[in-house]
Structure 1
Amino acid sequence: MKLAEFYGGIELYREEKMVYAKLMTPHRVLSTCRSSAGGMHDDLMYLYNHQSCEPAGCHMNARMCRLAMESPEDYRREVADRHNLPFQKCATLGTAANMNNAAICHERFCDLEVVTICTGGVEGNAGRAGDPASYYEPQDDSAKGQKDRGCNMRPGTINAMIFINRELTPGAMVAAVITATEAKTAALQELEVPSRYSDGLATGTGTDQIAVASELGGNALSYAGKHSKLGELIGRTMHDAVLRALAMQNGLTPASRCSSLAYLERLEIRQQELCQGIGEFLSRDNANLFEQNFSNIVNDPITVAAVAALVHLRDKFLWGVLPESCIHEVLSLYGAQVSAAVSGKTSRSYAYMQILSALKVSLDKDAFLEFVFQAFALGFSEKWSCPECDVCEETGFPG
Structure 2
Amino acid sequence: MRLYTLATGDQVYRYYKSIVIPFEGPRKVASTAIVNGGYREDLTAVFNNDVNPGAGMACTMRAPTYQEHMRIITEEIGLDPLTTAGMGTAASMENAAIKTECYENLTVTAIVTGGVEVNGGRVGDPADYFQPLAKSMVEKPGTINIILVIDADLPPGMLNRAMVTCTEAKTAALQELMAGSNYSTGLATGSGTDQTIVIANPVSPLYLESAGKHSKLGELIGRTVLPAVKEALYKQTGLSPSLQHSMLARFKRYGIKEESLWQAYAAANEKPVMKAKFLAALYQLDGDNQLVTYAALYVHLLDQLSWQLLSGEEVCQAANELLAALAGKLDVTAPVVEGNDTCACLEAWTALVVAATGLDVAH
Counterpart contact for 1:29–1:214, Cα < 8 Å: yes
Cα distance, 1:154 vs structure 2? 4.2
Cα distance, 1:220 vs structure 2? 2.2
Write the mapping of 1:1-399 to structure 2, written as runs, cut at 5 A: 1-35=1-35, 37-54=36-53, 57-60=56-59, 62-64=60-62, 71-136=65-130, 146-148=131-133, 153-154=139-140, 157-217=143-203, 218-278=205-265, 280-281=267-268, 284=272, 291-343=279-331, 355-357=334-336, 359-361=337-339, 363-365=341-343, 367-379=344-356
Counterpart contact for 1:306–1:334, Cα < 8 Å: yes
Counterpart contact for 2:282–2:357, Cα < 8 Å: no
Q: Distance in 1 between matches of 2:89 and 2:173?
A: 19
Decide which structure has greater helix share.
1
Q: Distance in 2 between matches of 1:268 and 1:292?
A: 20
Q: Residue 201 of structure 2 aligns to which amino acid in structure 1?
A: E
Q: Distance in 2 between matches of 1:83 and 1:382?
A: 59
Cα distance, 1:272 vs structure 2? 3.5
| Cα gap change, 1:152 to 1:103, in 2 (>3 Å) | closer
- Is the deviation greater in 270-279 or in 111-120? 270-279
Q: Distance in 1 between matches of 2:55 and 2:264?
A: 29
Counterpart contact for 2:281–2:360, Cα < 8 Å: no
Q: Residue 376 of structure 1 aligns to which amino acid in structure 2?
A: V
Q: Distance in 2 between matches of 1:331 and 1:292?
A: 27
Q: Distance in 1 between matches of 2:153 and 2:40?
A: 13
Q: Distance in 2 between matches of 1:253 and 1:229?
A: 28
Q: Residue 356 of structure 1 aligns to which amino acid in structure 2?
A: P
Q: Distance in 2 between matches of 1:315 and 1:331?
A: 12
Counterpart contact for 1:126–1:202, Cα < 8 Å: yes
Match of 1:104, SS state, is: strand
Q: Residue 307 of structure 2 aligns to which amino acid in structure 1?
A: W
Q: Distance in 1 between matches of 2:142 and 2:159?
A: 25
| Cα gap change, 1:165 to 1:289, in 2 (>3 Å) | same
| Cα gap change, 1:331 to 1:56, in 2 (>3 Å) | farther
Give % identity.
35
Q: Distance in 2 between matches of 1:28 and 1:236?
A: 22
Map Cα deviations across residues 215-248 of structure 1 (whole Å, 9 max, x no partner): 1133421111111111111111111111111111
| Cα gap change, 1:8 to 1:314, in 2 (>3 Å) | closer
Q: Residue 324 of structure 2 aligns to which amino acid in structure 1?
A: A
| Cα gap change, 1:299 to 1:9, in 2 (>3 Å) | same
| Cα gap change, 1:40 to 1:341, in 2 (>3 Å) | farther
Match of 2:112, SS state, is: strand
Q: CA RMSD in A?
A: 2.7
| Cα gap change, 1:286 to 1:96, in 2 (>3 Å) | closer
| Cα gap change, 1:274 to 1:356, in 2 (>3 Å) | closer
**Structure 1 alignment gaps of length 5 or more:** 137-145, 346-351, 386-399
Match of 2:341, SS state, is: coil
Q: Residue 258 of structure 1 aligns to which amino acid in structure 2?
A: H
Q: Distance in 2 between matches of 1:152 and 1:3?
A: 28
Q: Residue 346 of structure 2 aligns to which amino acid in structure 1?
A: L
The count of residues paired between Structure 1 and Structure 2 equals 359
Q: Distance in 2 between matches of 1:213 and 1:122?
A: 25
Cα distance, 1:337 vs structure 2? 3.5
Counterpart contact for 2:170–2:190, Cα < 8 Å: yes
Q: Distance in 2 between matches of 1:199 and 1:55?
A: 31
Match of 2:128, SS state, is: coil
Task: Point out the structure with max Rg over C-alpha.
Answer: 1
TM-score, with structure 1 as normaliser: 0.82
Query: Hey, which bits of structure 1, 4+ residues long, moved more than 6 A?
Result: 285-289, 381-385
Map Cα deviations across residues 30-87 of structure 1 (whole Å, 9 max, x no partner): 000112x101111211110011125864513x224xx5xx734323311111122111
Cα distance, 1:155 vs structure 2? 5.7
Q: Distance in 1 between matches of 2:345 and 2:55?
A: 31
Q: Residue 63 of structure 1 aligns to which amino acid in structure 2?
A: M
Counterpart contact for 1:184–1:239, Cα < 8 Å: yes
| Cα gap change, 1:303 to 1:286, in 2 (>3 Å) | farther
Cα distance, 1:356 vs structure 2? 2.7
Counterpart contact for 1:125–1:156, Cα < 8 Å: no
Q: Residue 65 of structure 2 aligns to which amino acid in structure 1?
A: S
